[in-house]
Amino acid sequence: MTYILGLNAYHADAAACLVKDGTLVAAVEEERFRRIKHWGGFPSEAIRYCLAEAGIELGDVDHVAVNSDNRANRWRKLLYVATSGVSPSYVLSRLRQRGERADIAGNLAQHLPEQAFRGTVHAVEHHLCHLASAFLVSPYDKAVAISVDGFGDFSSAAWGLGQGGEISVDGRVFFPHSLGVFYEAMTQFIGFPHYGDEYKVMGLAPYGEPRFVDQMKEIVRLNTDGRFELDLRFFRHASGEGANYQVKDGIPSGGRLWSDALAELLGPARDPKAPLEDRHRDIARSAQVTYENAFFNLLAATHRKYGSDAVVLAGGCAYNSVANGKVLERSPFKKLYVQSAGGDAGGAIGAAFATWHRLGGASARRHFVMDHAYWGPSYTPEEVAQAIAARRADFDAEGCTIERIADEATLCRQTALEISLGKVIGWFQGRLEWGPRALGNRSILGDPRRADMKDILNLKIKRRESFRPFAPSILREAVPDWFETDDDVPFMMQVFRIREERRKEIPAVTHVDGTGRLQTVTWAGNPRYARLIQAFRDITDVPIVLNTSFNENEPVVCRPEEAIDCFLRTKMDVLVLGDTLIRR
């Protein structure tokens, strides 16, 4: 029996996972415990959870694999430092920080002092981890594997061919060229300054026109081999101090990436406090089109090279669900897999599985497929009851009724009825989702038929930009009747067109361009959520519910106490905690 602990440490979206004999046991992001979005640092609480889930201690772990290797691309780093003009003090500071973080055994001893680690530490190159996180848990025995992000171990993209338990990394794009940096710079330029705000640009883009695509061809240049290059006149990150990425008290942040030349090309940047104008929408649309042109240029080149019909995607850019939804339409590939945590958190899984296959040889044959995302903490009925009892006075003050409904069919019917009446539902079930998407265990649910549901949610709970869409969760068998696809999309990582004749029936989950970021729900993957959606279909003839994450400008709730807090401080109508239904 072999246990491998995989880590994404000292970077945004710190996370841990545990793999036992080539099968995933647990995986969770540290932010769910720390309650700070994108928390970066050493994921001690995530490690504790993974060990507890398996019923083991740190001393039982044979290997720890981390998704970064300071030795990777060393000569390219040295050459760049020698020729770029980066200050020696900056380089020394970065090296010192990376050296401290690389001491995994020392960090384990510091953060988990009550447990002793006696195994081996493995540093695994960043993009190999991304590729492994997608391919080695995919349903394909052979596939092109592509990773695209900001930067990791001095490269921003990597690709190769996965076969069996091996991945050949045959191509890369190195620092300072990066599609992730391009998209983040445009995100900042449009006035969304916080780490991880790129999804806002993706949501805003359909409201604009691609008027600036020609100008952006100056910014991103494409090569026939799939590679891309940035015109560095428009960016500040290549000087080192310009980007100034850091994690302080667990909170990741970075300096301004774009240079004044970008404002000369596109006009003035938007102040974050200023209203959005048509020009900002057009820049967002143009940035999305520019990203897609580079992305599909890379996909076309890799298909020519390898000839495989299947492709797997990872890296932060794998969260661009709009582009992902066009892969089968705009590229020669016929099959696509994107796991639920494609970004840096997912590198923890990649590190663990890459290490498992590297150590095991032929005996470590692939037998695990990640076909669901429920790998985080769950809570017993007793724990839920205790959390409710501790807040009973608060529930009474709100005039709440509390009812335990042991029969699942009855619970789902009553919840579905509440949804059909326009109520906002907090739905807390089973194990926490792995990755950024709420997929039916830590979700807020609403009626997709109501054109005003988006406004209701934003007024009562979410308080977010009006242009950002909400997602439809749909029974798998109903997909072709409602969407222009028949794909499995369990992780909400792809956007597809909703059939034109159906759009008026589900306005709350239909984006302005007629698309939806769907989640397909199966009875095997999440039977209680499927039963709820079926009950809603029986009432309304619509096999879809609106799904958004259970949070209010915070990480998705993890514990029942956090779900109760969110319910009580917002205007949510109903809270379903396991088998308990609480109504205001």
Do 548 and 402 lie in a common domain? Answer: yes
Note whether residue 372 is domain-resident.
no
Residue 244: band (very low, low, confident or very high) from pLDDT cuts 50, 70, 90: low
Looking at the structure, tell me whether residues 487 and 395 fall in a common domain: yes
Note if the pTM is more than 0.75. Answer: yes
Contact status, residue 518 vs residue 494, Cβ threshold 8 Å: yes
Rounded CA separation 81/86 (Å): 6
- Region 172-188: mean pLDDT is 97
Residue type, 579: D
DSSP tag of 56: -
Q: 9 and 60: one domain?
A: yes
pLDDT at 469: 86
Please say which residue of 338, 371, 401 terminates a domain. 338
Give yes or no for residue 85 having a pLDDT over 80.
no
Supply 357's token pair.
Answer: 């296959």
Assess if residue 142 is contained within a domain: no
Residues 419 and 537 sit within 8 Å (Cβ to Cβ): no
pLDDT mean over 574-578? 98
CA distance 122 to 328: 36
Q: Which is more confidently placed, 264 or 467?
A: 264
Q: Is the pLDDT assigned to residue 241 strictly greater than 90? A: no
The Cα–Cα gap between 563 and 554 comes to 12
- Say if strands 442-446 and 471-475 run parallel, antiparallel, or are unpaired: unpaired
Tell me, what's the pLDDT at 409?
A: 98
Taking only the tens place, the pLDDT of each residue in 267-298 is 999 999 999 999 999 999 999 999 999 999 99
Q: Which helix (H) or strand (E) holds 160?
A: strand 155-163
Give yes or no: residues 298 and 202 share one domain: yes
Query: How many angstroms separate the Cα of 58 from the Cα of each of 114, 198, 497?
Result: 9, 37, 47
| Token pair belonging to 474 | 């749909």
Same domain for 563 and 449:
yes
User: Which range has the worst mean pLDDT, 255-259, 480-484, 523-527?
Assistant: 255-259
Q: Provide the residue range defining the domain that includes 299.
A: 150-338
Structure tokens at 482: 């409602």
The answer to whether residue 369 is domain-embedded is no
**Which pLDDT does position 86 carry in this prediction?**
59
CA distance 178 to 279: 24
Strands 310-314 and 335-338: parallel
Placement of tokens 């604009």 in the chain? 208
434 and 517 assigned to the same domain: yes
H-only helix segments in 368-430 = 381-390, 392-397, 408-420
Asked if residue 370 belongs to a domain, the reply is no
Give me the residue label for tokens 């920080």: 97
Q: What was the pLDDT predicted at 246? A: 75
Q: Is residue 550 part of a domain?
A: yes
Q: What is the mean pLDDT of residues 354-366?
A: 81
The reply to whether 143 falls in a domain is no
Is residue 71, in this structure, part of any structural domain at all? yes
240 pLDDT above the threshold of 80: no
Same domain, 91 and 186: no
Which residues neighbour 380 within 8 Å (Cβ) at sequence distance 6 or greater? none
Compare 365 and 81 and report the one with higher pLDDT. 365
Q: Are residues 270 and 226 in the same domain?
A: yes
What's the pLDDT tens digit per position in 170-179? 999 999 999 9
CATH number, domain containing residue 104:
3.30.420.40
DSSP H or E stretch at residue 95: helix 88-102
User: For 22-36, 238-252, 408-422, 452-466, which range has the lowest pLDDT when averaged over its residues?
Assistant: 238-252
Do 168 and 251 share a domain, yes or no?
yes
Q: Is 507 exposed, middle or buried (0-12, 13-18, 19+ CB in 10 A)?
A: middle
Q: Output the pLDDT for position 100.
A: 55
The answer to whether residues 260 and 197 belong to one domain is yes
Whether 174 is covered by a domain: the verdict is yes
Q: How far apart are CA 93 and CA 89, in angstroms?
A: 6
How many domains is the chain partitioned into structurally?
Answer: 3
SS3 403: strand
**Domain with 453 in it: what CATH number?**
3.90.870.20
Same domain, 558 and 510: yes
Q: What percent of the chain has pLDDT over 70?
A: 95
Q: Does one domain contain both 59 and 197? A: no
Q: Mean pLDDT over all residues of the chain?
A: 94
Q: Which residue has the tokens 């599609």?
A: 179
| End-of-domain residue from the set 277, 304, 338 | 338
In this predicted model, what pLDDT tens digit does every residue of 204-234 receive, in sequence order?
A: 999 999 999 999 999 999 999 999 999 999 9
Q: Is the pLDDT of residue 76 over 80?
A: no
CB neighbour class for 273 (10 Å; exposed up to 12, middle 13-18, buried from 19): exposed
